[in-house]
């Protein structure tokens, strides 16, 4: 557990408590989902999708969901994982069971079907796994990313439903200090939305980090292109390629838009949008509570705008009630980045 200790801090929690509770629940549900048919091949399937047009991850009547297409409304995934059981039956000889398809064949076939639809979901990997392997309960670690963009300009069309637009400036250092309070082994009841079905609010947050990143989609400004050309000429002269990194301030194109001499827009740069500052929050843990990441980001955003101090974050954590937390961040900025397994 990190962060400065206080007299009001709860007594130390056994670090194995969250793992033991989770393991018991996982084992019970995994036994129920285990395929008993030896002719069935279980595949582990990794998918990416834009969640804007999905109603969630559970099958619902009259709604398009991730489960419904393959099988947290508005949330995106760089790599989400599910498992499917397939029995390959011969079309020529009904009842004859054929050897299972290779994973690459399954991937191509499923993507061919998916692309006939809206094209906002795609299979990126397939692996054969034992019939007792469960995509949810065998996961060792999950990583989420959350994108925030800061600036007074309206959100770009290319960014809508892809990030949380915060008009105010964000204090990156203050947000990073707040992360230190939240990372570690805690009772996260204050970051657990109503409807959470987990047996325990105890979780170990292995990583919580925020940094500034280039805007997405990123297009280089005039100054950056000149810097790259200059670096290329230098590398050709020296015959050694230098390690060139643009300063973080170059992510904001202050050099593209404003003529500081007369306060008027530079006519040569007419029609070029002023960029937002872009920030990425990374949260990594074995498992998360319902809406935990979005509640964490909601608090971090308030720290960044100055609505909360680091001491307030500690107070919210110790309150152990979700009513103490800041408003939850919207789903549009949340991405499931990776689910880690110890694959056989």
Write out the catalytic residue numbers.
72
What's the token pair of residue 181? 């309070």
Provide φ and ψ at 18, rounded to 5°. -65, -35
DSSP 151: -
CA distance 322 to 23: 25
In terms of DSSP bridges, do strands 76-86 and 334-340 run parallel, antiparallel, or are they unpaired? Answer: parallel
CA distance 236 to 140: 47
CA separation, residue 309 to residues 3, 281, 302, 313 (Å)? 14, 18, 8, 7
Are 168 and 305 within 8 A, CB to CB?
yes
* CB-based contacts of 246, cutoff 8 Å, min separation 6: 224, 227
Query: Which residues pair with residue 84 across a beta bridge?
Result: 43
């Amino acid at each position: 557990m990190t962060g400065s200790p206080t007299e009001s801090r709860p007594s130390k929690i056994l670090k194995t408590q969250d793992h033991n509770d989770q393991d018991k629940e996982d084992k019970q549900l995994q036994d129920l989902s285990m395929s008993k048919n030896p002719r069935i091949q279980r595949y582990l399937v990794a998918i990416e999708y834009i969640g804007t047009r999905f109603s969630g991850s559970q099958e619902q009547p009259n709604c398009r969901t991730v489960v419904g297409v393959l099988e947290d409304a508005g949330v995106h995934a760089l790599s989400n994982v599910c498992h499917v059981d397939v029995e390959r039956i011969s079309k020529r000889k009904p009842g004859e069971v054929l050897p299972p398809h290779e994973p690459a064949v399954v991937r191509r076939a499923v993507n061919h079907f998916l692309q006939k639809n809206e094209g906002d979901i795609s299979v990126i990997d397939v692996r054969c796994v034992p019939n007792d392997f469960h995509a949810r309960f065998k996961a060792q670690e999950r990583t989420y990313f959350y994108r925030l963009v800061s600036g007074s300009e309206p959100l770009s069309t290319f960014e809508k439903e892809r990030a949380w637009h915060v008009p105010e400036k964000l204090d990156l250092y203050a947000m990073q200090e707040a992360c230190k309070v939240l990372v570690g082994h805690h009772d996260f009841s204050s970051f657990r939305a109503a409807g959470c079905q987990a047996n325990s609010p105890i979780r170990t947050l292995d990583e919580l980090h925020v940094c500034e990143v280039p805007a997405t989609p990123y297009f280089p400004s005039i100054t950056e292109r000149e810097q790259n050309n200059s670096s290329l000429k230098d590398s050709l002269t020296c015959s050694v390629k230098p390690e060139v990194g643009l300063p973080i301030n170059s992510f904001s194109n202050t050099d593209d838009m404003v003529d500081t001499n007369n306060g008027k827009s530079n006519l040569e740069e007419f029609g070029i949008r002023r960029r937002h500052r872009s920030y990425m929050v990374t949260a990594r843990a074995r498992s998360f509570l319902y809406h935990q990441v979005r509640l964490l980001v909601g608090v971090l955003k308030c720290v960044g705008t100055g609505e909360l101090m680091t001491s307030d974050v500690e107070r919210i954590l110790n309150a152990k009630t979700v009513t103490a937390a800041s408003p939850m961040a919207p789903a549009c900025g949340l991405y499931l980045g990776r689910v880690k397994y110890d694959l056989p």
